[in-house]
Each structure stands twice: as C-alpha cells, then as structure tokens.
Chain A
Amino acid sequence: MQRALILIPAASIAAFLSLGSTAAFAAAAAPLQEPPQLSELEGPQSQQALARLQQFFRTVPDARAPAVLHEVLERTTAAAAHAVVLEEYQRRKLHGQGRATLEALSREHPERAIYAIDLVQLAVLEGDLDRAKADLRSAAGRFPHDTELHATLGRWLYGRQQTDLALAELLRAQQTGLRDPQTNLVLASLLARAGALEDAIDTAASITAAPGLDPRLRGEAAALAGKSYAILRNEARAVEFLEQAIQHSPLVEDYYLSMASAHQQAENAGAAVQALRRGWDRLPGAPGIGQTLSRQLLAAGDPEEAVRVLVLLTSRHPNHGDALRLLAQAYRSAGDAAKASQTWRRLIRQQPRYPMANIFLAQSLAEEGAPPGQILAALDKAERISPQDADLYYLRGRIFNSLGRHQDAVAQLQRAIRLQPNFSGAYYQLGLAYQQLGQPDLAQEQFRRRSHLEEGTGRTR
C-alpha cells in the first residue's frame, strides 16, 4: 500500500482553489475560510490542521462540495484527511456521490489502497453493511498481501463496534504478517470472544514473548492467554500466564480475580484465597477482590476474617451496597446479630427501596432476640415495598407462632403458600400453628406436604 503523502506541486488547497484548478473552485462566490496546507495534515500540527479542514468544508456551498471533496481525496493520501472527507460526505448525505468519486479515483489510481479503505468506511458510515462486506472482499482481492490495509480496516471497524468484520480483517492482516502488538492484542481479544481460544492464546502468547514492549501491554496479553486457558480447563497454564500478567502489571485487580477463579475452577480453594489475599495486600480496599475474598472466607468458615476485609472495604466504599449486604451476612455468620441488624439498617438508609433489606433486618432482629414489635415493624415496611414476597409472610407467621398468635400465623403462612406453593418451610410452620390450635389432622397434612416437597424435584425450601 502506498503510505506516503502524495505530494502536490505548489502545495495547498488554498493554492489550487485560488488558482481555479477546477471549474467548481473557479466559480467561488461566497468567502471561504482558509483551508490548511496539505503538508500540515501530516505534520506535528495535524490535529489543528484537520480541524481547520473540517471548518473549511462547512463553508463550502452544497453545489460545490462534491468537487472540493473530490479534490482533497485525489491530492492527498493522508488517512486522517480522508476521514474528514468521509465525515463530510456523511454529514451532507452524499454517500452516492462519495462512492462514485472513490470508485472513479480507484480506477484512476489502482495502486492506491486508501480508496479501498475509504469505500468500506463510507459504506459503514452509511449503515450499508452488505455493501461494506462487498467492498471488504474486493479490497482483499485487489490487495491480498497488504497487511497494513487489513490492519487499518480492522482497527477502524473495531472502533466502530463492527467486531465481526474487525475480526475478519485482522485475521487477514495476521495471515499476511501482522507485527504490531497493539493490533495483535485486539485480534487476540476478538478471537477469544469468538471462541477461537487456541488461536487467541497463540496470538496473545506471541505478544508476551516479544521483547521491549510496554509491560502493561504484555500484562494484558498474558491475562488474555491465561483466561483463555482457564476456559479450556487448562488451569495450570492459566495460572502460569496470569502470574506473568501480575508480574507485568501488579496493580490490575482483574488479574488477581482471574487467578483466584482459575484456582477455584481447579477446586483449589486455598490457592484461590491466597491469590485474593495477595491482591488485597497490593490493592487494599479493591471492591472486586474484597467481595470475592470475603465470600471465600465465609465459605471457608472464617467469618471473622471476612468481617475484617469487609469493614475495610465499606470504609473505603461506604455506598457499596453489595459489600454492605456481605458484611451483614458476615456478622450474622460470626454470631453478631446486633451488628448485622446495624448493617442492614445502614443499607436501608442508603437504599430504602431495596425490597429484601427489611426482610433481612427482620430475620436479623429475630436472631438478635429483639422485641417482636420491632421485627413486625420491619416486616410491615417490607410489605409496603414488596407485597408479593412470600418470605415476609412466612417470617411474620413464624413470629406470630413464637408469640402464641397461632390464628394470625395461619393467615400469614397461607398467604406465603399462595404466593409460593412449593414453600416447604411455610408448610412446616403452618403445621406447628395447627398443632397449637388443636387441629392435629390439619397439622399432619402440612407436615406430610413439606416432607414430600423436600423429597421431590420441585422448588423446596
């Protein structure tokens, strides 16, 4: 592909405009803004030059726009200038005109790959993906070995969220010798997303092995290889690559989480906790690590340590609802119902519409031995927010049972069962209520249903 800026004698659009090099320009009547020199478009001030080019286009009258845009496309191969021209075609809804111009230029200058790129971009901008695909295949046919063309298209399509087409183009680039590590990393991630995991690993591993690269890039590549190995259930290789990722970029939370996940997948909970602790030491207060680590600690029967982690996490992120929920659960597991209730209240203050919080608070208050009035008040609030929640009627039934209000308990538990017919715990409590009300047959019926439900495949509680 011809990469260099094509030199235009006498050098600027302004020059050819004023010289009247085309009929369109010769007839300029309205005052035009000063366009940039073409040489500026690739110089150190190219951003400003492009902005001026854009402004200049805005002043060109509709009737003369096609000729002006044609002129720029023909006289420069600077990709950024072409992008500005394509945007202008888009802005003026001159897609057909643009296509005709580009096809004509492509015929006149068959060696210039830039027009093949432009045609694809124009079709995508227009939203005509079938046309874009045809242009892509045509470009591949005309420039089969042009790595840079396919890489450029791949990167541009990726930026436009056309990931399938980006993958297709980057694969073409790779097959013709793509070297650029950043682009290879994009390709590796697209390959992984497409499910071509071995291809993703090969591509990513080649980046990690390349000398002299930015460690962050190498870290990303190693992490991608590691995660792909984890999906392939090769946890040993996954851990190896994720360790490399951590070495390259020790402050990326995701790498520790992925490492822990790989260990967890290999059913090595100890190593998972170790990886998370390591991450926690490097990134104290990191929300993802904090939550995962505390869950692991809770599962491992260490709620006290989970509380320590979550106290730090919620002090750093006081509005983190999930962390507060976990902290309340951790307090509960640690046998500190009072602090659990306190944490639920804190969460309710932050998220008053969170439907389950009042139910959890009521549960916690019940465990704490709080007065029934407090528990029932929490359940009343829950009912106002979420009146279809079977749990709250179940809990209220339990409280009424404990208060000896068995007739009230029956009404609540029947409501829970109406909402959730397979709620085995509700049948049990209903059985207890009937027992206390001196109705043994009805009580036995409920106990029998509960035991059937718990044996069956339906939803059981």
Chain B
Amino acid sequence: MRTDENSGRISRRAWFGYASALLLTRPVRPQSQSTQGTPLEDDRVSLSSMADVEGTLTPVDRFFVRSHHPQPRLSLKTWRLRVEGAVANPLELSFSDLVETSTRSLEGLLECAGNRTGLVSNGLWEGVPLSGLIRQAQPKEGAKRVLLQGADKGSLMPEMPESPYSRILPLEKCLAPETLVAFKLNGQFLPRRNGFPARAFIPGWYGMDSVKWLTRVRVLDSFDWPSEYYSSGMDLLYQRYVKFGTREEITGRVSEIQVNSGFSFPPPGANLAPGRYPVRGFAWAGPHRVGAVQVSPDRGNSWRPARLEGESRPFTWVRWSYDWSAPKGEHLLMARAQDHRGRWQPIRRDTNRTDGYELNWYPSVQCNVL
C-alpha cells in the first residue's frame, strides 16, 4: 500500500482504494440465520456459496453479508424511516406504515462491488417502491441526488469521526420503478445481518448502494453537500481508481453491476471419478440480460457453449450448465459470460486499476479426476 511521502502515513485515498480488499481477507466464520446478538466485528462479512442454491434463489440464511460497520440493534417500536431534505412534504414512516403500503416483488441479485467469489447472492425482494415515497414527499425543483443513510455507524478509517453509513445516488435511479425499500427476502422479513427491518435495494447496481438498516432518505438540492458524508470519506469509497503513469485518478463512480459468472459445481479442489458431469454455475449482467455463457475445460485453450437453463432477465442471474466428460488428470475449468449487448467478461483485470472493485474477469475452478 502506498504511503504519504512526507509523513510516511497511509494516504487517505490509498486507504480507501484498498479498504475493500483488506476487509475481504478478514477471517470469516459461518453465520447462523439469526445473528442478532451483540454486534461482533466478523458479523460484517459472511460468504455465500452458489452450490447452496437450488433453483435460482439463495436461501436467506446463506445470503452473503458485507458491511462496513457492526450491525445496529433496531427495535420495531422505535424504528422510523424519514424522507426529508429538499422536499415539500417530509415523511416519517413506522414499520407498520411500511408494511401497510403497497409493495412490489422482484427477483434480484445483490453483488458486492469487491466480489471475486462468495459475495454475490440472488433473492426475491419485496418492498415499497422508493419512487412512491419520494414522490409523496414532493421533491423540490432542482433536486438531483438522494442520500440514503443506514443506522450502522463507525469510522471508515483510523482517526476519522464516526458517521452513519450512507450513499449518495442520482435521484433518477431512486425514482426507477425497480428501486425498493425492501423489508422481505424470499418471503421472510429481512434478517438483521441483511438490513432488518428495511434496506434499500437498487437492482442492477453493486450492493454498497443498497443501504442496509435504512433510516433516512434525504433528497439533496444542488446546494446541499452533506458535510458528514464528505468528512467521513464516504465520497472516496467505490470509485474507479486508475493509474496514468505515476498519477492516479478517479475515473468514475462504481455503480452498475458488470457482466460476470461463477461455478456452483464442481467445488474447488474436488476429486472426481472419471465420468460425465454437469458443470454448473450462474451468470449475470446487472441491469442487462445474459446473452451467452461458454466453458473452457482446458485452461482457456478452447471454449464450448454452455446451456442457459431458463430465460435470462435483467437484475437477476441465470443458471447455466455444461455436460463435461471428465478425463483423468488435473483440470482447470473456466467460464465466461456475455451480456445481450455482446460484452464479454474480461479475460484479466485491467492492470491500471488500483481499486478493489469490479473484479469480473473469467472465473475458474481446479479439480482432479482420478
């Protein structure tokens, strides 16, 4: 990691560029369905396995978790969602108000921006369209952005003040019909670790914008730059950092989920008897449909089409399979997906990228046939 040349301390920007990767190396312990006790540091990360998915939905207790701050304890008696800021009619909703509002259900994938493996899951979300709440609050003219704030608090880096986790999104995305204030996942109320009692769900965008434990929706006009957001360093998170020679620049905000795929069978390092196996996995393309998936049984030397087991739809993943005659030997299977616009996953990471996001190059799995 780079340090500030004068002080020898880690620079603020460098810290954020690598924060995601650091968190992912933290030891992970298996999580039970309900982890609603005292917040523990490692409650912030829990991996999900595609092998646990039957059909297309990740079971609720196997959904991945990736949080910046410890899980807050929220009571349904006191939890409120405020819709405020540059609006003519601020709202304050209780949990009862939310449950008693018309909802929409949507199958959607949630992927951490730093996912390489284990930080992606797919579920059936139910919630109140955020657009309805914002429109009811009547945004003022000139409002273009919305701050979504969770009840979880902490410091994003040492010596920084504590602040609630929050994200700023374009108003347009918040008004998209698919954007939800979700309170149910696969027909159950959200588990605490996944944002109970309610979270934002921004289909097609990486998970960091789907703010968990949502308590505040603040519509921002062009003069409103929330100081807490900027002083905490939130603005530097989830940006694309690219090296240009000796310089490093932010080239844009990470938002839309990139085309990606993964294996559900065989598991890494599997020992298999010779025979035919259905190699399986999932592919997804954020707000787009998946056009094709290919599998290479020979380390990328040749590619064969995989079969899509169902119709690919935006926001969710599609299961694929490939019938593999497994000969004896050590194998490295690879996969790659293409979205319906013809964009393939990249073969490797752009070496100029210095952040830890959008890690969507070809997935692979090693196995031995005995």
Interface residues of A (CB under 8 A from B): 130, 133-134, 136-137, 140, 164-165, 167-169, 171-172, 174-175, 191, 193-199, 231-234, 417, 421-422, 448-449, 452-453, 455-458
Contact = CB atoms under 8 A, between A and B. Distances in A.
B196 A195 contact: yes
A134 B102 CA distance: 8
Contacts of B95: 168, 171
A233 B31 CA distance: 12
Contacts of B97: 137, 140
Closest 5 CB pairs of A and B: A456-B271, A421-B273, A168-B96, A168-B99, A194-B189
Contact of B271 (A193, A194, A231, A458): A458
A133 B370 contact: no
Interface in B182-198: 188-192, 196-197
Interface stretch (B73-81, B160-168, B352-360): B73-81
Contacts of B101: 133, 137
Contacts of A196: 75-76, 196-197
A1 to B, nearest CB: 18
Per DSSP, chain A at the interface is helix
A458 B189 contact: no
B37 A167 contact: no
B39 to A, nearest CB: 12
Contact of A133 (B36, B102, B270): B102
Interface string B332-370: 000000000000000000000000000000000000101
B94 interface: yes
B278 interface: no
Interface string B262-292: 0000111111110100000000000000000
A453 B192 CA distance: 39
B100 interface: yes
A441 B192 CA distance: 57
Interface of B: 34, 36-37, 73, 75-77, 94-97, 99-102, 188-192, 196-197, 266-273, 275, 368, 370
Contacts of B370: 448-449, 452-453
The majority secondary structure among interface residues of chain B is loop
A54 to B, nearest CB: 31
A169 B76 contact: no
Given A232-B36, A453-B271, A453-B370, A198 B197 contact: no
Nearest to B93: A137
A452 B100 contact: no
Given A197-B34, A457-B267, A457-B271, A452 B76 contact: no
Nearest to B36: A197
B77 A171 contact: yes
Interface centre among B96, B268, B273 (most CB of A within 10 A): B96
A193 B34 CA distance: 11
A231 B36 contact: yes
A456 B270 contact: yes
Contacts of B266: 458
A232 B37 CA distance: 5
Nearest to A234: B37
